[in-house]
A and B are shown apart, each in its own frame.
Chain A
Amino acid sequence: MNTQAHKNRIEVQDVSKVFRVKTKGTDVALSHLAHFFQDSKKKSYIRVLNNISFTVAPGEILGIIGKNGSGKSTLLQIMADVYSPNSGSIVRNGEVFYLTSMGIGIIEKLSMKDNIFLVGAIMGMSQKKIKDIYNQIVDFSELGDFVDMKVCHFSKGMIGRLGFSISVFCLQNRMTEILLLDEVFGSGADFEFEKKAIKKMEELIQGGATVVMVSHSLPTIEKYCDRVIWLDKGNIKAIGAAQDVISKYVA
């Protein structure tokens, strides 16, 4: 009976990923034609992930740290099924949502109201559901006076508020079981809003969902994560309790 509850949310086993590196001009029609006759395609590849294995338990918050180019985002993208691994397997027990920026798909030439409906749809919400949470989004963003204004007249901070509010409320409403956060924490708005945003974010990740987060902010990782993976050049250099791994990483 209880096997379902004990099942890991995510099981990553021996995952490797290789990307083809494109050199200048290999993608144009004539070069395809030339290569077809010459048969001398020189392809170069780069290995981004190397036999990665780990599991994430239900409700766990897992952090991934590492230098730029160590494969953190690629790993999340594979977990999110954006990329397929070259070898190895991934099991996902639950609905996955991958978030790489707050308010993806905001079109500046549209009004704030139109944007709420558009971004909501992109995040997989039906129009009816967006209508239901529309007021919550507007209230939270504190931009109620600007709903009919085009977003191109907004300041950067206002766009940050809007993007954050839409994303967070949509996520909360979708009740996604697995949340993959790629360098997103907070809103990029002013201090006061940021405080509110972080509180909302805490509510979201501590609300029972399984979370995997990539971040360069070690204090954030340390504060929220149960376990941390340190990726280095596509290999797991360390995995374990947050404090232990972080202290190794900074040493």
Chain B
Amino acid sequence: MERIRKGKENMATIFALSYQMAKANFKVRNEGSYLGVIWYLLNPISYFVVLLFLGGSIYNNSIPYYPAYLLLGLIMFNFFLSVTGSSSLVISGNKNFIKSIKINPLTFIFANILTNIFSHAIEVILFIIVLLFLHINPIFVVFYPLIFLCLCLFTTGISLIFATIGVYVSDWQNVWKVLGSLLWFVTPVFYVIKKADSAIGHINYVNPFFHFLTIARNLIIYEKAPTLFSVCGIIAFGIVTFVVGLYIFNKKARSFAENI
């Protein structure tokens, strides 16, 4: 009982501190003004515009409501890439803290994710505007937090693993840059998989991102209920990845200080 209470207290401190750190990061990045928010939107918007143009003029796609389809895929993938991309440097970047004060290193991982959640929220608002523009009823966005929760667990799990690797492999970021862009092309972010039994269809069957995107798009844009199988799939992907990540991270966390 005492252990559970202590654990709860620890988690509360970790979350409180990571929230403060994320807030500070966010303030620094925006230089204290709301205009800075525009910079967050610039990246997804520029991709969005280019791909929209390509999608419309090159392969003449027949995806209904393509702008919404594309933007939702982009912002979800963008969140994942930007969290995981920075996570391998989170521990070494906070070297000064880890070596000089007793802070649970989970704090830095959560702070990184929270910072990205703030900016993701702004992208979601942009997405809702696009939905309204396309005369799609945005009511189903209310389900998005549930899908996002699974995505968040999955992303946290991966970033815990990457943060641990990053302590021992200093250039892991470069490795992930290559792997991450492969994943980006394999996942139907800006295209659609027409044949499920093609090579890419088979690959995507085990690609968690394919399922995250499919469920979110079907539900929010096309108002189609997801299958029970795929819902269980993303919940399982999320929880398993998170638990594995947390296990690896906690196992190695004791020796972070002397390896960075």
A-side interface residues toward B, CB under 8 Å? 19-20, 27-29, 32, 77, 80-84, 96-98, 100-101, 104-105, 107, 109-111, 114, 117-118, 121-124, 126-127, 182
Contact = CB atoms under 8 A, between A and B. Distances in A.
B65 interface: no
Interface string B15-28: 01100110010011
A67 B168 CA distance: 31
Q: Which of A81, A122, A127 has the most chain B CB atoms inside 10 A of its CB?
A: A122
A121 B20 contact: yes
Given A81-B102, A114-B27, A121 B17 contact: yes
Contacts of B171: 27-29
A34 to B, nearest CB: 13
Contacts of A32: 168-169
Contact of B20 (A19, A98, A100, A118): A118
B223 interface: no
Nearest to B255: A84
Given A97-B102, A104-B96, A127-B16, 5 more contacts: A27-B169, A111-B32, A121-B20, A121-B21, A124-B13
Contacts of B21: 118, 121
A80 B28 CA distance: 31
A109 B26 CA distance: 11
Contact of B31 (A80, A105, A109, A114): A109
Contacts of A104: 96-97, 100-101
Contacts of B16: 121, 126-127
A109 B28 contact: yes
B103 interface: yes
Interface residues of B, number: 30
Contact of A122 (B17, B99, B170, B174): B17
B257 interface: yes
Interface of B: 13, 16-17, 20-21, 24, 27-28, 31-32, 96-103, 168-172, 174-175, 254-255, 257-259
11 contacts: A19-B258, A28-B170, A29-B175, A32-B169, A81-B102, A84-B254, A98-B100, A109-B28, A118-B24, A122-B103, A124-B13
A104 B101 CA distance: 9
A108 B208 CA distance: 40
A56 to B, nearest CB: 18
Nearest to B25: A107
B95 to A, nearest CB: 12
Contacts of B28: 107, 109-110
Contacts of A118: 20-21, 24
A77 B99 contact: yes
A81 B103 CA distance: 10
Contacts of A82: 98-102, 257
A82 B258 CA distance: 9
A110 B24 contact: yes
Nearest to A108: B28
B58 to A, nearest CB: 36
Given A104-B97, A121-B16, A98 B27 contact: no
B174 A29 contact: yes
A111 B27 CA distance: 10
A124 B24 CA distance: 16
